[in-house]
A and B are shown apart, each in its own frame.
Chain A
Amino acid sequence: QSVLTQPPSVSGAPGQIVTISCTGTSSNLGSIYAVHWYQQLPGAPPKLLIHSNTIRPSGVPDRFSGSKSGTLASLAITGLQAEDEADYFCQSYDSGLRNVVFGGGTKLTV
Chain B
Amino acid sequence: EVQLVESGGGLVQPGGSLRLSCEASGFSFRRDWMSWIRQAPGKGLERVANIKSDGSEKYYGGSVQGRFTISRDNRKNSLSLQMNSLKVDDTAIYFCVRDVTYASGSYAFENWGQGAVVTVSS
A-B contact count (CB 8 A): 54
Assembly CA distance A2 to B107 (angstroms): 19
Residues on A with beta carbons closer than 8 Å to the beta carbon of B59: 99
Instruction: Give 1 or 0 for each of B44-64: 1 = CB within 8 Å of chain A CB.
Output: 111100000000000101000
Known: A99-B59, A102-B46, A104-B44. A91 touches B115 (CB 8 A): no
Taking residues whose C-beta sits less than 8 angstroms from the other chain, chain B's interface range is: 20 to 34
Q: Pick the residue among B61, B104, B112 that contacts A45 (CB under 8 A).
A: B112
Interface size on A, residues (CB 8 A): 24
Residues of A within 8 A of B (CB): 2, 32-34, 36, 38, 44-48, 51-52, 55, 57, 89, 91, 93, 99-100, 102-105
Residues of B within 8 A of A (CB): 44-47, 59, 61, 95, 100, 102, 104-110, 112-115
